[in-house]
Structure 1
Amino acid sequence: MKMKLEELVSPEASPALGPYCHGRKYGDMIITSGQIPLTKDGEYVFEIKQATTLVLNNLLSIVKAGGGCRESIARVDVYIKDLNDFGLINEAYKEFFGEHKPTRVCVQVAALPGDVPLEASMIAFAGE
């Protein structure tokens, strides 16, 4: 039986700002698009810890739309404007994940949409 590539949409995450979807699911694998700290009502969040938490919650809502959960998140890619925010991002990240420790990439980039401080994406799996 051939697996189908499914589009994922979360009503909790901010709307896509371009020609892409929130995420895709293929079999048990869930891959999200990047999320910036933008509320579903279209408001940007710039305070770094609040922004990080918002992004992670938006991403988790997409993972949940694909049948995953916080503990099924395997990887998080984080793009930040300023490496000086690294410590505060880590604080918010630890508060969000607790003892669960997905693999992670964190790099500084020159610019992000809306001049926000970070963007992130996730890879997760359906089921627990």
Structure 2
Amino acid sequence: MELISTPHATPPAGHYAQAVRANGFVFVSGQLGFLPPAEAGARPQLALGASAQTEQAMRSVQAILEAAGASLSTVASVTVYIPNIGLWDEVNKVYERCFGEHRPARAIVPTGDLHYGALVEISVVAIAA
């Protein structure tokens, strides 16, 4: 098992890795829609709105996958957490654009409040290259 880390995604805020590569798969921890910090060591802020947070979360997912030698096109499964099912259409538009023709398995989970007041959290499982 190999821990994956990249400075191009939000650093973990707890006792977990950005991702783990194991047995031919990459397991990416849930990513929130944080903007990149303005300076090293600064706490990132959430992007404004569900679309912008989805975009930022997907950028983090993509950066982590690339650090692990994978890509969005090798994603096999996605779990999307949202606090309110009413956000789904907005989140789905960005999701569709990011994945294009690729259609991994997916679950959408309405959760109630997410950490830091986030409007979306995305975790994926990909095939390692």
Partner of residue 93, structure 1:
95
Matched, 1:9 2:17: no
Shift of residue 66, structure 1, vs aligned partner: 0.9
Shift of residue 114, structure 1, vs aligned partner: 0.7
Partner of residue 15, structure 2:
19
Q: How does 1:9-88 map to 2 (within 5 A)?
A: 9-41=5-37, 42-88=44-90
Give the partner amino acid of 1:125.
I
Partner of residue 110, structure 1:
112
Matching residue within 112, 125, 128 for 1:123: 125
**In structure 1, what is the Cα distance between the partners aligned to 2:36 and 2:123?**
17
**In structure 1, what is the Cα distance between the partners aligned to 2:106 and 2:48?**
22
Give the alignment's Cα RMSD to 1 decimal: 1.0
**In structure 1, what is the Cα distance between the partners aligned to 2:125 and 2:103?**
13
Shift of residue 116, structure 1, vs aligned partner: 0.8
Quick one: percent identity of the two aligned structures? Answer: 26
Shift of residue 38, structure 1, vs aligned partner: 1.2
Q: Which runs of 4+ in 1 moved over 2 A?
A: none
Q: In terms of mean alpha carbon deviation, does 37-46 or 112-121 score higher?
A: 37-46
Give the partner amino acid of 1:70.
L
Give the partner amino acid of 2:61.
L
- How many residues were matched structurally? 123
